Chains A and B, each alone.
Chain A
Amino acid sequence: MKKRIGIEDISKPSPTLSELHQEDFKPLPPPFDRPESTPDFAPLSEKARENYEASLDDTIAVSIPKPKNKQEEDELVAKFLSGLQKLFTEENNWTFLQPLLLSMDHCATCHTCSDACHIYEASGRNPIYRPAYRSEVFRRLYKKFVKSKGGGLLQAWRDGEIELNWTTVARLAELAYRCNLCRRCAQTCPIGVDNGLIAREIRKLFSQEMGITAKELHETGSVLQLKVGSSTGMNKAVVKDNMEFIDEDVSEMTGMTIETPWDKAGADVLLIHNAGEIMAWPMNPGAFAVIFESAGLSWTMSSEIAGYDSINYGVWYDDVQLARVAIKHAEAAKKLGVKKIVLGECGHAHKALTVIADRVLTGDLNVPRESCMVTLEDLIFSGRIKVDPERNDFPVTLHDPCNLVRLMGVVEPQRRILRHIAPKFREMEPHGVHNYCCGGGSGFAIMSGHNFNDWRHQIGGRKKLEQILNAFKDELDPSIKKFVCTPCSNCKGQLRDLIAYYDLWEKHSIMYDGLVELIVNCMTDVKPGFIEWEMH
């Protein structure tokens, strides 16, 4: 029988609040239904346990150095408390105060959210991964220290017991990074409570008050982006160089002459890619260039700071960084005087700039933003791009990036394109706004420290793996090449790693890539064979 873990247990010091055992995880469909068919979950090293806070479960995402003594612990707890107070003030948190308060005050603990969570399900229903677990811990802290200014017997009787100590704080910081922020749980809440929002608000408290966050999101993420222009570290000169190489490669592959326009003032469209594409999947920006040039679109890329990297990691942990990056994106567009920004294949960038930052950008910074799915659909169905679907005569399924679909409502354009260009397209189940996260959401796709890689593939990505295997269940034979269309850079990173982790390409010929690669692969004025059928 599995260990029961109560809310108050989070405050009780112990080596690990919850141990992870592979045999507890949700069974996978064939051919991964035998224990020996999946990789081992590597144990956390002793060195990591010594140096970092690791008492939540058997992994680490944030890498919080252990306080040296009780005094340091107390200082950190005091800082947490100060951040907790600030989170519930209009001045410090106008950005999310109303949604947060409503979610704090109205949970009926009916647990409807639990079954919606892929992490809870994949872990074999580990109690600490229940969406309501971290929310309930945080809710009790809020009610004790913000609403009741320290609590009391009546308060504990009414709102539940919780003790605030360093163990609670350290575990809560890690626990905020065991959620993909996909908000599938919120979709099912009969009241409207949003556990995904609560997880993000906890991350925000740690980042904005204590400076504690995952290094990949902050230091080498948004900070680097604001400093040099991109979280990839590419500055203006490097990105232009790289795109020049991509133009050359793509020209050779397609037989067309492609030259990406840079800083073209007055162009209709400013295209902003996730710069990770330029580094890791160069054929994606290359394919965009092919499509836009073939269609005769007036477009440009920008070499301004952040103007060539659409990522906005602030979406996952920090409102200040979110606003700073969004403003940089808008400034790049404003400077060029473009009619609109088109976002490349990156889900969180879509949501950040189009939806969330809609209430950040004012005046002439409020440059219209559009999803590339919509632009591409327009180009294809207006006849500006000629396609031969027979060139895509292989099984194709579609992964729905949560940010693009559930959180933005861009559902059908990509489907209409796929139904048109991929004769063997089939849906995953469930799909659309009811999809499952790939397991890389909220920044996990770029986080692989310690053994977190095992966690995000064995737990975070388990449900997606199951969906992919089911979508191709009758064609798992490696002689049939199969394609998971993944129109999001972050999801693509996760799927790349998931496919490599379970050896899906070698064993079952399951490959992934974006939508634009599939489009170019079937364009009639392009040489056949654009898709790279090799692991990349």
Chain B
Amino acid sequence: MLLVFCYVCVVVFVAAVLCRAVKIARLPIHLRWELYPVAHEKGRASYGGSYLEESDWWTKPRESSWVGELRVMIPEIILLAGVWEHNRNHWFRSFPFHFGLYVLAGLFGLLLVGGIAAAAGMDVSTGGGLAGAILYHLTYLMGYVGLGLGLVGTLALLGRRIFEADYREYAKKADYLNLIFFAVTFVVALAAHATVDRDFAGLRAFFERLVTFEFSSAVALPWLTGLEIVLASVLLAYIPMTHMSHFFTKWFMYHDIRWSDEPNLVGGKIERQVAAAFEYPLSWSAPHIRGDGKKNWGDVATSGVEEENGEK
């Protein structure tokens, strides 16, 4: 039963992420709205320059650097470099929370690997050879570090929302629920590992059943471990349905907007997309537009205001 519940939650997570990502990616092309520095501008990103600093830029090859993007994105994602730079006070709360989650994502990976390894007959323990021992030690280390950091960060963020008026005034009830949900999950998990599953072997055994689809063996889990699994699974399924989906939508924010400086070249893909967008009928009803749902953007953009007003 618990196995099925976990599968469902993972499927919900993947489906929700895919669904949102596809929905965002399929939105029509928008007008250019980049914001500098643009990280892939080769040789110019350090000061925020663009290829538009070149005379006759359209006659020259554009030099784009994905290494430049990585140089910005890696510290941004892993260390929350932007928050460190612009909101230091918040960083001390936000970083442990986020880094804790990254570590827990790593734990998830280790448990998967551990589960597969165990299913393949490897002994994941101190006496299980070098690989088995590394996997064993790394798992509980990451587990405790991730859960600890996550809890500290969650409580710090929750405290800020409760005790600081600037944050309280903007907080929705759901924001408190989200943080409490995280806190309860971390506390339950820590309690489970402090009492009944100190070396995470119980959790790894569960993951072994997960990866082998082992429904038949009815291994009794301690109730705290069961609760840990239920809470973590629900949390996983819930995250992409909230504003916390920024963990993947940030990619669109940066690549489709902030760094989207691809010029529209005659005969190119962007030109075709723009031409298609100009076919959209519009229904804005201000006097200078008088959209009737039939006229399209092309009609309106190439007509004068006085014609729209019927004053010609």
Show the binding face of A for B, using Cβ within 8 Å: 4, 6-7, 79, 82-83, 86, 90-92, 94-99, 101-102, 105-112, 115-116, 127, 132, 136, 157-160, 183, 186-194, 197, 207-211, 218, 222-223, 226-227, 318-321, 323-324, 327, 340, 354-364, 366, 368, 370-371, 373-375, 377-378, 405-413, 432-434
Contact = CB atoms under 8 A, between A and B. Distances in A.
Given A86-B284, A320-B289, A327-B302, 14 more contacts: A79-B285, A112-B87, A192-B257, A192-B258, A193-B253, A207-B286, A209-B285, A359-B32, A362-B274, A373-B53, A407-B35, A408-B52, A409-B52, A412-B44
A319 B286 CA distance: 12
Contacts of B174: 157-159
B286 A411 contact: no
Given A7-B169, A97-B28, A359-B29, A186 B297 contact: no
Contact of A92 (B55, B56, B246, B283): B283
A108 B284 contact: no
Contact of B286 (A99, A127, A208, A222): A208
Interface in B134-192: 165-167, 169-175
B27 A101 contact: yes
A409 B32 contact: no
Given A102-B249, A192-B253, A211-B287, A320 B35 contact: no
B282 interface: yes
A99 B288 contact: no
A406 B37 CA distance: 7
Contacts of B38: 409
B128 interface: no
8 contacts: A90-B27, A98-B252, A160-B172, A183-B35, A192-B250, A194-B257, A359-B29, A434-B48
A191 B250 contact: yes
A225 to B, nearest CB: 10
Contacts of B68: none
Interface in B285-311: 285-289, 291, 297, 300-306
A412 B52 contact: no
User: Number of contact residues on B: which range applies?
Assistant: 35 or more
A406 B271 contact: no
A193 B37 CA distance: 16
B202 interface: no
B305 A432 contact: no
Given A94-B30, A110-B87, A412-B53, A432 B48 contact: yes
B36 interface: yes
B197 interface: no
Given A94-B280, A183-B35, A192-B250, A360 B274 contact: yes
Contact of B76 (A98, A110, A160, A190): A190
Given A91-B280, A91-B282, A223-B288, A190 B82 contact: yes
A363 B51 CA distance: 22
Interface of B: 24, 27-38, 41, 44, 47-58, 76, 80, 82-83, 85-87, 90, 94, 165-167, 169-175, 243, 245-246, 249-250, 252-254, 256-258, 261, 263-266, 270-271, 274-275, 277-278, 280-289, 291, 297, 300-306
Contacts, number: 270
Contact of B284 (A208, A324, A411, A432): A208
B86 A108 contact: no
A90 B284 CA distance: 12
B83 A340 contact: no
A350 to B, nearest CB: 9
Given A4-B169, A211-B286, A355 B34 contact: yes
Q: Which 4 A-B pairs have the closest CB atoms?
A: A409-B50, A192-B253, A433-B48, A323-B301
Given A208-B286, A358-B264, A99 B53 contact: no
A471 B172 CA distance: 43
Contacts of B48: 405-406, 409, 411, 432-434
A157 B58 CA distance: 52
Given A91-B283, A319-B31, A106 B246 contact: yes
A98 B256 contact: yes
Contacts of B49: 409-412
Given A102-B24, A324-B304, A405-B48, A97 B31 contact: no
A363 B278 CA distance: 13
A94 B279 CA distance: 11
Nearest to B41: A409
Contacts of B50: 408-410
Contact of A362 (B34, B76, B264): B264
A411 B175 CA distance: 40
Contact of A112 (B86, B283, B305): B86
Contacts of B167: 109, 111
A467 to B, nearest CB: 18
A110 B83 contact: yes
A193 B82 CA distance: 13
Contacts of B271: 362-363, 366
Contacts of B297: 94, 323
A110 B164 CA distance: 12
B28 A94 contact: yes
A320 B284 contact: yes
A189 to B, nearest CB: 8
A433 B41 CA distance: 14
B286 A359 contact: no
A179 B280 CA distance: 30
Contacts of B266: 362-364, 366
A101 B35 contact: no
Given A95-B30, A98-B257, A112-B82, A412 B47 contact: yes
B30 A107 contact: no
Given A91-B281, A159-B174, A374 B44 contact: no
A406 B31 contact: no
B32 A191 contact: no
A332 to B, nearest CB: 14
Nearest to A116: B86
Contacts of A222: 305
Contact of A115 (B33, B87, B304, B306): B87
B170 A136 contact: yes
